[in-house]
Structure 1
Amino acid sequence: MYPGIHNYSEIGKLNKVLLHRIGPEVEGLVPDNFARLLFDDIPYLKVAQQEHDRFAEVLRENGVEVVYYVDETAKALQEQSVKEEFLNKMLDESDLFSEGVREAIYDYLIAMPAKQMVEKIIAGVKKDDIPKVETKSLADFITSAYPFYMDPMPNLYFTRDPGACVGNGLNVHHMSTATRRRECLLLRYMFMHNKDFAPEGSQLWYDYDDPFSIEGGDVLVLNSETVAIGLSQRTSAAGIERFAENILHKSTFKRVLVLDIPKSRAFMHLDTVFTMVDYDKFTIHPEIEGPLRLFEITLGMDGKPHFESLTDSLQNILKKVLKLPAVDLIRCGGNDPMAAQREQWNDGSNTLCIAPGTVVTYERNYVTNDLLDKKGIKVLTIPSAELSRGRGGPRCMSCPVNRDDL
């Protein structure tokens, strides 16, 4: 096993994964802030934590080292100067109007040990946490009814999105929504200051400050030569181009496949409609097959990006880049359109492959799970009554750091 960040496939045996155990941040959700915080519902925390703990347990039972966002970020903040810089960056991104409020939050958080500070930033800083902050501006007065000074980060348990480990490097993403942007700062400090997570020599393919949106649910590492990226509601063409130019110049990867998927909340990221489950097998949501447009980015002889529109079918393109005689696209929900829609909404296509032909799925997606089983895929199911309320499955909830090569 290679140390550190090493991820050249979607299906190689998973050795190390980065998770965030869902926490009190979801109890900051109320119907009034659903749109602001990108939720449709409120998970019941106690049960959601039990479900997430079972997810981590299944991974450990299968030889995966599980590390957590809070712990890995806290390791990065052991030097006081780094801790102070991190907190100031976090406050810069927290939409604070008043210098007095900012100073009060800074003093409140910086006094905490690093781990507690990170936990509190994720949970959100309520106005009740810091009493007697004087209102000094009209903006403070207008926003006084809102309960938080710093919003919670309820989306962080979907650790796939803030970044992606690709090859021997990392993307720290620019999220498409302001609500999720601060999550990426945690990962950026892990990369810069936590050598357990990112040893010397780890590459940075995309950075937090890059101006174009890209999110990890759209990034699939098909093999050591090919990365597939979804052009989606959350990932922009300019972000894909910036990532492709960096990785094609500085790594073994030879092409970036771009899959143009419908721009809707139901199909938020590529991995909600398409994932790899074995050497030659993929799950796919049938509704994207017809309208799917495909493009390829490679480097030309002059070292500049070369763009090509691909007219062949997805199956034929996958066969070619994976050097296989055939590939099998397994339709989420089978041939039942209602089952397909229902199970895609509950992330039936969002499988996490932990070894060739072995996947973790939500137990509620029984139609798709049965199809996978009949195709010879070993299916490890986890409960998901509460976790699924956040609109993301096992792949969304995991950031693979290290896999065996195929």
Structure 2
Amino acid sequence: MTVQKDGIHVYNEIGQLKSVLLHCPGNEIENIVPDYLRRLLFDEIAYLKQAQKEHNQFSDLLRNEAVEVLYLTDLMAEILENKDVRTQFLEDFMEEGKIATEGLRECLREYFNKMTPKDMIRKCISGVQKSEVPGIKNKCLADMVKNPYPFYLDPIPNLYFQRDPFSSIGKGVTLNVMSSITRNRETLFATYLFDFHPRFQNVPRWYNRDKTHPIEGGDELVLSDKVVAVGVSDRTDPIAVEKMARKLLYSEESFEVVLAFDIPKAREYMHLDTVFTMVDYDKFTIYPGIEAPLDVYSIKKGANQLSISYEHEKLSQVLKKYLNLPSVKLIRCGDGNPIAAGREQWSDGSNTLAIHPGKVICYDRNYVTNEALRKNGVEVLEFESYELSRGRGGPRCMSMPLVRSNL
């Protein structure tokens, strides 16, 4: 196992991206069926072969920009080479998957123990159909009662959105609590990553998955080495934001303020980064539909407790003040046209991934927004997005930066 000392180092949204964590969609996408779309948080059925082609285009763009691309399955397979860790992970994974009977647990242990670490982690992600597993030997009532549901362990199709289970802030992370039961298993992978992988030893945690209130990485933006923005959204609770802010601001890190963006609580907005991202020192993409209802609160370190204030100014003025900028340019999704904005926001037109200041990766389908970015001096790299966009997430959603250069 090759050990790098980089660990986590993220003090901005736009500095040169050095290292990033991805997950290429696998057979978990093939296990999405119409009857269980809502349960698995999908709106549509995706075509795996095309989704993988698009994801490979995305990773190739990153590598062409000298970004180290790491895959979750590879890191987890390295961890699971340790037999004791592997045994404990499987027990934890079955607990998270609500495998309650000892007969079924024993059956699944035998099923997984025949696999290599890489095959095991892929199968954990893709889900276990009942038809794949030999019969349970010692059945209890729960094993005998007929249940038409086809899975023992649900697939985890949202895992290609690596932004959400944890978030890199400074030299530490928030190890998140997901708002839905379906996605909470995703954070177990991050737990093992930071507990056992030698590359990520002793990484501070600004929030942990044992907390009760949800916070997701798509709501967490590191705007500078002093300012973190967090969305109070459909999937992130204000109590979690305050708890995270307290841990972060009273640490030895350089951060001085957490800006809480209170955005509409609706699936089409979902996270802050689906309606607002940073693309350059003084330029941001924004979905115009959130500007009017947006409230911003500043959270700062007080003598003995946090100081929380409502920001009365417009968003551009708030950003100018806290980022110490002479001016701020808000580049509107759909170039300000309400029809184009609504259409392209649905396919994540505002969800950009900066690879260095003024250079971003975007879905090709959001051509109106991409052209607006170019008109404002931002270089846009595009890749195909027929299938990946069906999961309701864009390039930023699919990537977790591990190391960025300081500005």
TM-score band by shorter chain is over 0.9
Matched, 1:73 2:76: yes
Once the 2 structures are TM-superposed, how far is the Cα of residue 134 of structure 1 from its aligned partner? Answer: 5.1
Match of 1:274 among 273, 276, 298: 276
Once the 2 structures are TM-superposed, how far is the Cα of residue 141 of structure 1 from its aligned partner? Answer: 4.5
Range 177-186 or range 89-98, more displaced: 89-98
Normalised to the residue count of structure 1, the TM-score between the two structures is 0.97
Could you say if the C-alpha distance between residues 212 and 143 of structure 1 is closer, same or farther in structure 2, counting changes exceeding 3 Å? farther
CA RMSD of aligned residues (A): 1.4
The secondary structure found in structure 1 opposite 2:230 is strand
CA contact (8 A) 1:271 1:350 kept: yes
1:351-373 deviations in whole A, cap 9, x for unaligned? 00110000000000000000000
- What is aligned with 1:179? 182
Within 5 A, what are the aligned runs for 1:5-404?
5-133=8-136, 136-142=139-145, 144-196=147-199, 198=200, 200-250=201-251, 251-302=253-304, 304-404=305-405
Range 141-150 or range 278-287, more displaced: 141-150
The secondary structure found in structure 2 opposite 1:101 is helix
Once the 2 structures are TM-superposed, how far is the Cα of residue 135 of structure 1 from its aligned partner? Answer: 8.1
For residues 97 and 158 of structure 1, what CA distance do their matches in structure 2 show? Answer: 28
1:78-112 deviations in whole A, cap 9, x for unaligned? 22111111111111110223221122112211332
Once the 2 structures are TM-superposed, how far is the Cα of residue 329 of structure 1 from its aligned partner? Answer: 0.5
Once the 2 structures are TM-superposed, how far is the Cα of residue 139 of structure 1 from its aligned partner? Answer: 3.8
Once the 2 structures are TM-superposed, how far is the Cα of residue 138 of structure 1 from its aligned partner? Answer: 4.5
CA contact (8 A) 1:135 1:141 kept: no
Range 131-140 or range 19-28, more displaced: 131-140
CA contact (8 A) 2:298 2:309 kept: yes
Q: Partner letter of residue 273 of structure 2?
A: D
For residues 368 and 204 of structure 1, what CA distance do their matches in structure 2 show? Answer: 36
CA contact (8 A) 1:77 1:193 kept: no
Once the 2 structures are TM-superposed, how far is the Cα of residue 113 of structure 1 from its aligned partner? Answer: 2.0
For residues 248 and 151 of structure 2, what CA distance do their matches in structure 1 show? Answer: 39
For residues 145 and 236 of structure 2, what CA distance do their matches in structure 1 show? Answer: 34
Count of aligned positions: 403
1:167-222 deviations in whole A, cap 9, x for unaligned? 001111110100001111111111111122x1x44211111212210000000000
Q: Partner letter of residue 254 of structure 1?
A: E
For residues 128 and 307 of structure 1, what CA distance do their matches in structure 2 show? Answer: 54
Could you say if the C-alpha distance between residues 24 and 292 of structure 1 is closer, same or farther in structure 2, counting changes exceeding 3 Å? same
List gaps (5 residues or longer) in structure 1: none
Q: Partner letter of residue 331 of structure 2?
A: I
1:23-71 deviations in whole A, cap 9, x for unaligned? 1101110110011100011110001100000000000000100000101
Q: Partner letter of residue 124 of structure 1?
A: G
Could you say if the C-alpha distance between residues 215 and 142 of structure 1 is closer, same or farther in structure 2, counting changes exceeding 3 Å? farther
The secondary structure found in structure 2 opposite 1:12 is coil
Q: Partner letter of residue 275 of structure 2?
A: V
Question: What is the identity percentage for the equivalent residue pairs of Structure 1 and Structure 2?
Answer: 49
CA contact (8 A) 1:233 1:262 kept: yes
For residues 258 and 390 of structure 1, what CA distance do their matches in structure 2 show? Answer: 26
For residues 143 and 320 of structure 1, what CA distance do their matches in structure 2 show? Answer: 62
For residues 380 and 112 of structure 1, what CA distance do their matches in structure 2 show? Answer: 39
